[in-house]
């Protein structure tokens, strides 16, 4: 078995059993290209289990996130169907190791999107925009990783909640975002923190997906990355994101 398959199985097992593992780069050094190969192979295992890819997520598209995690390269990961958490619904703490929540913007594609595109071309492929919360849950002990580790671990992604879809024409360049936990505001930000405008994250998503030979298809979701640092979650909490002009989305973790 190649080390790609070995580590793909390692991160996959850690994710499905919600058990933290040591950083895999401490066992063997490898680069970012190999890390994406591990990610692809680990998500392939899920797809084989009947859990298809429904979109992609961008990561480290804001300074706040780069500073929080000490990693400064843009990364991406795959979203699969089992990661969907219904807006207004529940998710179980037992599914996670040490989950965190992030305020994000989501795009719904109405046309295929791949390769090098302009912001206008990217927007032409969009059928709806919404506020969204990503649940991240690094499979590594203490949420500590190198760039290659986090890429191999599907960019820490473990769930996502999407609010009501709005018209694609909505200006996304400065959406005020407030994260509330149990009715108390715990984080504030603006969508401008996401590469200056989240549309740029969509342009990057098209490029990286194209490079990876992954086609972004109509109906798929693209998550632009967090506007603020992530918030650590505890069982019993109610998390709600309010986004100016985009309404809100929320879930409970029990
Ligand atoms: C990596 C994922 C980063 C974002 O929105 O920037 C990310 C992590 O922080 O564990 O999802
Ligand atoms: Mg995120």
pLDDT digits (tens, 9 = 90+) for 92-138: 999 999 999 999 999 999 999 999 999 999 999 999 999 999 999 99
Ligand 2 centroid – CA 116 distance (Å): 22
How far apart CA 240 and CA 251 sit, in angstroms, is: 7
Name the 3-class secondary structure at 75. strand
Ligand 1 centroid – CA 150 distance (Å): 9
pLDDT band, residue 71 (cuts 50/70/90): confident
Q: Mutation test of ligand 1: which of 58, 59, 101, 131 has the most ligand atoms closer than 8 Å to its C-beta?
A: 59
| Per-residue tokens: 63 | 């300074």
Q: What is the pLDDT of residue 65?
A: 93
Q: Mutation test of ligand 1: which of 74, 102, 202, 232 has the most ligand atoms closer than 8 Å to its C-beta?
A: 102
Ligand 1 centroid – CA 66 distance (Å): 8
- Ligand 1 atom at minimum distance from 104 CA: 5
Question: Residue of the nearest CA to atom 8 in ligand 1?
Answer: 156
How far apart CA 73 and CA 71 sit, in angstroms, is: 6
Pairing outcome for strands 53-59 and 221-223: parallel
Instruction: Please state, in angstroms and as integers, the Cα–Cα distance from residue 188 to each residue in 185, 193, 227, following that order.
Output: 8, 11, 9
> Where are the domains positioned within the chain?
3-253
Pairing outcome for strands 157-162 and 238-243: unpaired
pLDDT of 72 above 90: no
List pocket residues of ligand 1, CB cut-off 6 Å: 59-61, 65, 69, 102, 134, 136, 138, 150, 155-156, 225-226
pLDDT of 169 above 90: no
Q: What is the pLDDT of residue 126?
A: 98
Ligand 1 centroid – CA 169 distance (Å): 27
Q: Give the mean pLDDT of 128-152.
A: 98
pLDDT band, residue 1 (cuts 50/70/90): confident
Which ligand is the nearest neighbour of the Cα of 150? 1
Is 0.90 topped by the overall pTM?
A: yes
Give strand ranges (E) for 26-142: 53-59, 75-80, 89-91, 100-109, 126-136
Q: State the DSSP H helix or E strand holding residue 137, giving kind and residue range, or none if neither.
A: none
The highest-level CATH class for domain 3-253 is: alpha beta
**ipTM of the assembly?**
0.99
Ligand 2 centroid – CA 69 distance (Å): 12
Which ligand is the nearest neighbour of the Cα of 195? 1
pLDDT of 180 above 90: yes
Q: Which of 233, 213, 216, 22 is nearest to 106 (CA)?
A: 216
Q: What is the pLDDT of residue 147?
A: 96
Question: Residue of the nearest CA to atom 9 in ligand 1?
Answer: 69
Q: Give the mean pLDDT of 45-74.
A: 95
Q: What is the pLDDT of residue 16?
A: 97
Q: Give the mean pLDDT of 174-181.
A: 98
How far apart CA 86 and CA 251 sit, in angstroms, is: 7
pLDDT digits (tens, 9 = 90+) for 24-43: 999 999 999 999 999 999 99
Q: Give the mean pLDDT of 176-184.
A: 98
Question: Residue of the nearest CA to atom 10 in ligand 1?
Answer: 156
- Ligand 1 atom at minimum distance from 69 CA: 9
Q: State the DSSP H helix or E strand holding residue 218, giving kind and residue range, or none if neither.
A: none
């Amino acid at each position: 078995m190649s080390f790609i398959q070995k580590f793909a199985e390692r991160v996959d097992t850690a994710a499905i059993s919600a058990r933290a593992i040591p950083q895999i780069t401490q066992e063997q050094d490898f680069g970012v290209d190999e890390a994406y190969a591990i990610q692809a192979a680990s998500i392939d295992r899920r797809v084989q289990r009947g859990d298809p890819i429904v979109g992609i997520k961008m990561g480290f598209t804001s300074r706040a996130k780069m500073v929080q995690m000490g990693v400064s390269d843009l990364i991406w990961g795959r979203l699969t169907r089992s990661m969907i958490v219904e807006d207004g619904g529940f998710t179980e703490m037992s599914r996670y190791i040490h989950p965190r929540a992030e305020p994000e913007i989501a795009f719904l594609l109405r046309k295929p999107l791949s390769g090098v595109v302009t912001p206008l071309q990217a927007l032409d492929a969009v059928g709806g925009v919404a506020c969204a919360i990503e649940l991240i849950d690094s499979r590594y002990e203490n949420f500590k990783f190198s760039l290659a580790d986090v890429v191999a671990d599907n960019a820490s992604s473990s769930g996502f909640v999407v609010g009501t879809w709005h018209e694609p024409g909505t200006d996304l360049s400065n959406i005020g975002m407030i994260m509330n936990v149990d009715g108390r505001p715990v984080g504030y930000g603006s969508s401008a923190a996401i590469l200056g405008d989240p549309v740029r994250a969509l342009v990057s998503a098209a490029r990286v997906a194209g490079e990876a030979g992954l086609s972004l298809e109509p109906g798929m979701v693209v998550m632009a990355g967090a506007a603020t640092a992530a918030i650590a979650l505890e069982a019993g909490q109610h998390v709600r994101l309010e986004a100016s002009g985009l309404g809100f989305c929320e879930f409970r973790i029990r």
